[in-house]
Structure 1
Amino acid sequence: MTQTEQEAGRRARPRGRGGFLPVVVLVVLLLFGMPWWVLVTPWPGPVAVAGTVVFAVAAVAFPFLMFLGHGRGRDWAARVGDTMLGVVWVLFAWSVLGVVPRLLFDDRLVAVLVAAVAVVLVAWGVYEAMRVPRVRRMDVVLPKLGAGLDGTTVVVLADTHFGPIDRVRWSTRTAAAVHALKPDIVCHAGDIADGTVEARLAQAAPLGTIEAALARVYVTGNHEYFGEAQGWLDHMASLGWEPLHNRHVVVSRGGASLVLAGIDDATARASGLAGHGAQLEVALAGAPAGAPVLLVAHQPRQVAQAAAAGVDLQVSGHTHGGQIWPFHYLVRVDQPTVQGLTRHGPTQLYTTRGTGFWGPPLRVFAPSEITLLTLRAPDSGH
């Protein structure tokens, strides 16, 4: 896929700009207005004026920074705008929670408490976002899994979002942590980066050092379709990974087989890129009958297709576990689950909270993870 073809696909997308600006204005007014009301209005003249100026300047600058950063690829603007978004979201959430206490206690006391909580949560959130993810371990029983593959370990990565903040060191340490687990299979469930391969080459390079006994597989997420999806598929192939672009591979051990299938992200077709779009029937075509199927699909809501096809296990990312509390309530409106192992008809779904973060370099009450799933046969005794 050439860059010209990708640009043509992006131009083909419907814009819907008519109603976009009022929504942006409303969101910015709410995000900045609520913290201003709780934190600034209780104070006398000079403090109130200074606080109002700060919030007003931030509110005006914020959408322009986000546009420059994510619309025009200016990393410096993305870093500032994303950090501003994280801070104001924490302030907004806790300001909303401070409304009721304002009816019972002194307004200034509530303002101080909200500010103090926000400072602590932002500092903790930055630490949680930038550290190497902890390993989250879970056994998953697959009724059709043969004894030869009992105990097969599957590492799930997703949402690394290599982006405006240079995280080469983080990427290197995360890859080393995965390598130390000595996995049989490693899956990257999409949203590998924000930007082109060229722009994020150094941050993605450590993925090439990860080894797996049976397979390393990768599917696209929605963010690849903001940049160059085909470029990332090709680059992961150059690093030794199997791009599951609506296709499958079969791994075997001890006379047992497992189908590893992958589909494009749910947004792929709307991107306009030729040959892209989630096609589960294509991905499973020719798969050995009777073998269990592990499907890698970026978004949990793609489990509806998986369940209809009788897929045994789907692994997904996308939700980030909400990333910054209480955003998970909004995520739940769009997705059937936010994190963990759930069942949907015949299909089990594991949704990881993600390995990295998008945008704000914060994680609050939604820790990142390197997921280690151990697949179990039904009669394994575990």
Structure 2
Amino acid sequence: MTDTSNTRRADPERPRPGPGRLRRIMRFVPLVAPVLLWAVPCWALLHAGQGWPSAVRWAGTAVCVAGLVVMPVAMMRGHGRRQRDGAAVLGDGLLGGAWVLFTWSVLLGVLLRAALAVGGVGTGQERARIVTWAVLGVTAALLVWGYVEARRVPRVRRVEVELPRLGAGLDGTRVALVTDTHYGPLDRVRWSERVCETVNGLEADVVCHTGDIADGTAERRRAQAAPLGTVRASWARVYVTGNHEYYSEAQGWVDLMDELGWEPLRNRHLLLERGGDTLVVAGVDDVTAESSGLAGHGAHLDGALDGADPGDPVLLLAHQPKFVDRAAAAGIDLQLSGHTHGGQIWPFHHLVRIDQPVLAGLSRHGERTLLYTSRGTGFWGPPFRVFAPSEITLLVLRSPRAGASA
């Protein structure tokens, strides 16, 4: 599959949100979101004119209240200081289920009800009951499908990228991208092994991991991450930190990846030389490193490029797509990122776009810089992917000079 012809150019007219807007919004999410996630479906499915018997209405309401109480408590015990994996699995599952139920309670509660009314289908009570069963059916189907999508080994997405400055000697360079594996409370050792087997089948020159290896410390998730040591590349395996490393003792992850044979590109670069041509492969710490308080951690593009020939093309690894503003200003040729998960569970896609310039795929920024944003290899939190399939990416770098020299 070749995406080069579909490269998107960043829209200069589209207003870009301020860097702190999402952070300000997120301050209120823990207070408001749980109530909305459970209260809206409770009203839409039980108290919106369905005429259910009292026992049904109050039993359903009790289930919603229980979900409202249990979900945040389980998430705090699972992801807070206690780090209880069982609680995290319960809380994350309830969060994903509540999000899907909330979404379709709103959409079908408005659109389907209106369509039934326009079509003159049944009485008001009958239409309300049809909507309820439709919401429950769609939610159940999407959760089953989303769970299967999240747990499967990702399909390989193949993308050809032409870099105008790439020398003919490097034409056809194969770069495999894995990101956002998020090893976590659900044990995925076998999944990790199969992902690495798939990557090895790509016979890549360079294999990249652009961060968010796991949720938890390197010591805690070592068994799930260990298969990364079996990954093969003809030239190098390179890694940069993601924001989740800085929630879980980032230096431990840097040390483990080094132990597994990966090159942590912490504000530094390597040179890939072939056929008399050179490609600079650089990496930076995640932008959250700047506020982590960890000595020596921070996103420093100047340091990553220090000593590189400014005439050579640059492949940059940076976890978050929004780093592309700095990359474009520096004239980077191609940035590889993850972080967004492609939204993971629709319509969370739209909230991701508040904070990031791109959701997924290949896009152009400025006159030279291309950005490829992966939808991620694993999943974070809720074990579901709805309309946001995971991926392992194989990027084939092309030189416009290759044809002329053939």
TM-score by length of 1: 0.93
**Alpha-carbon distance in 1 for matches of 2:230, 2:362:** 28
Change (3 A) 1:23 1:89: closer
1:251 aligns with 272
SS at match of 1:99: helix
Aligned mate of 2:388, from 344, 363, 366: 366
* Residue number in structure 1 paired with 2:56: 47
For residue 135 of structure 2, what is the aligned residue in structure 1? 114
Q: Matches of 2:327 and 2:242 in 1, distance apart?
A: 17
**Structure 1 residue 79 corresponds to structure 2 residue 89:** yes
Residue by residue, what CA displacement relative to the aligned partner does 1:274-303 show, whole Å, maximum 9, x if unpaired? 111100001100012311100000000000
2:154 is aligned to 133
In structure 2, which of residues 231, 254, 262 is the aligned counterpart of residue 210 of structure 1?
A: 231
Match of 2:36 among 17, 30, 37: 30
User: CA offset at residue 256 of structure 1?
Assistant: 1.1
Which residue identity does 1:189 align to in structure 2? T
What residue number does 2:369 align with? Answer: 347
Q: Is residue 167–residue 401 contact of structure 2 (8 Å, CA) maintained in 1?
A: no
Query: 1:289 and 2:310 equivalent?
Result: yes
The equivalent position to 2:77 in structure 1, one of 68, 71, 83, is 68
Q: Counterpart of 1:91?
A: 101
Q: CA deviation at 1:253?
A: 1.1
Query: Which residue does 1:180 correspond to in 2?
Result: 201
Identity rate of aligned residues, in percent? 61
Task: Deviation per CA, 1:195-230: give whole Å up to 9, x if none.
Answer: 011110010011000010111100000000000111
Alignment of 1:58 with 2:67, yes or no, is yes
Query: Structure 2: which amino acid aligns with 1:199?
Result: R
Mark the runs of 5 or more structure 1 residues left unpaired by the alignment: 1-18
Q: Distance in 2 between matches of 1:21 and 1:241?
A: 36
Counterpart residue identity of residue 338, structure 1: L
Q: Give per-residue Cα distances to partners, 1:26-68, cap 9 Å, x unaligned.
A: 1111111111112222322111111000000110111111111
TM-score (norm 2): 0.88
> Within 5 A, what are the aligned runs for 1:133-212?
133-212=154-233
Q: Which amino acid aligns with 1:176?
A: E
Match of 1:310, as an amino acid? Answer: G
Structure 1 residue 103, shift from structure 2 partner: 4.4
Q: Is the 8 A contact 1:216 1:241 kept in 2?
A: yes
- 1:149·1:256 contact (CA, 8 Å) conserved in 2? yes
The alignment status of 1:311 with 2:317, answered yes or no, reads no
RMSD: 1.5
**Cα contact 1:160–1:193 (8 A) shared by 2:** yes
Aligned residue pair count: 365
How far does residue 340 in structure 1 lie from its aligned partner after superposition?
Answer: 0.2
Given that 1:38 and 1:98 are in contact with CA atoms closer than 8 Å, whether structure 2 keeps it comes out as: no
Partner of 1:13: none
What amino acid is aligned across from residue 63 of structure 2 in structure 1?
V
Aligned match of 2:9: none
CA distance in structure 2 between the partners assigned to 1:161 and 1:21 by the alignment: 24
Unaligned runs of at least 5 residues, structure 2: 1-24, 117-126
